[in-house]
């Protein structure tokens, strides 16, 4: 099962997408702790999420851990799944209200980062971590020794 999840034929340049996606999630996760009022529990409370004092740190931990897995290319496909869920909730809670109040173009402007993170995460879910990753080493078949 692990080999199947880790299998990838994506090109080495996929590392650029991994670094972008992973670094943004790591940064956002850390900020849930160091800037809790602006982007952590305080923000979660302002947008109406339940249990913001619990939920924000949990989301922050997922963002940091899954973001780090994405950067190093370890279990990349499973790691992007919770990140996509986080992005889906973020879009639903913060961008749909902008769409309803201010229209499509205001929402499109406000969600440009979200859109890039979702597309980058979906790309990694589809193609895997690429050749420059731990996943590539895990998913590669072991060389068979020639018969003696």
Task: Name the pLDDT band for 6 (thresholds 50, 70, 90).
Answer: confident
Sign of CA dihedral 60, 63, 66, 72: negative
Task: Name the pLDDT band for 9 (thresholds 50, 70, 90).
Answer: confident
Q: How many domains in the chain?
A: 1
Domain contains 142: no
Task: Name the pLDDT band for 108 (thresholds 50, 70, 90).
Answer: very high
Domain contains 66: yes
Residue 48: count of CB within 10 angstroms of its CB: 9
144: left (phi over 0), alpha (psi -120 to 50) or beta: beta
Tokens of 140: 């590669």
Domain contains 144: no
Domain contains 141: no
Contact 128, 8 (CB under 8 A): yes
Domain contains 22: yes
Domain contains 13: yes
Domain contains 123: yes
Tokens of 58: 């949990």
* pTM score of the predicted model: 0.89
Give the pLDDT confidence of 111-136 residue by residue, as tens digits. 999 999 999 999 999 999 999 999 99
Domain that holds residue 74: 2-135
């Amino acid at each position: 099962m692990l080999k199947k999840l880790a299998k990838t034929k994506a090109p080495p340049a996929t590392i650029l997408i991994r670094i972008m996606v992973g670094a943004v999630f790591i940064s956002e996760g850390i900020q849930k702790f160091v800037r809790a009022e602006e982007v952590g529990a305080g923000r979660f409370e302002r947008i109406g999420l339940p249990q913001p004092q619990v939920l924000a740190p949990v989301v922050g931990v997922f963002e940091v851990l899954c973001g780090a897995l994405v950067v190093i290319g370890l279990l990349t496909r499973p790691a992007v799944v919770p990140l996509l869920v986080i992005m889906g909730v973020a879009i639903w809670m913060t961008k749909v209200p902008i769409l309803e109040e201010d229209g499509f173009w205001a929402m499109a402007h406000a969600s440009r980062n979200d859109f890039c993170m979702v597309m980058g995460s979906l790309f990694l879910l589809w193609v895997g971590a690429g050749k420059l990753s731990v996943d590539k080493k895990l998913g590669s078949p072991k060389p068979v020794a020639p018969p003696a």
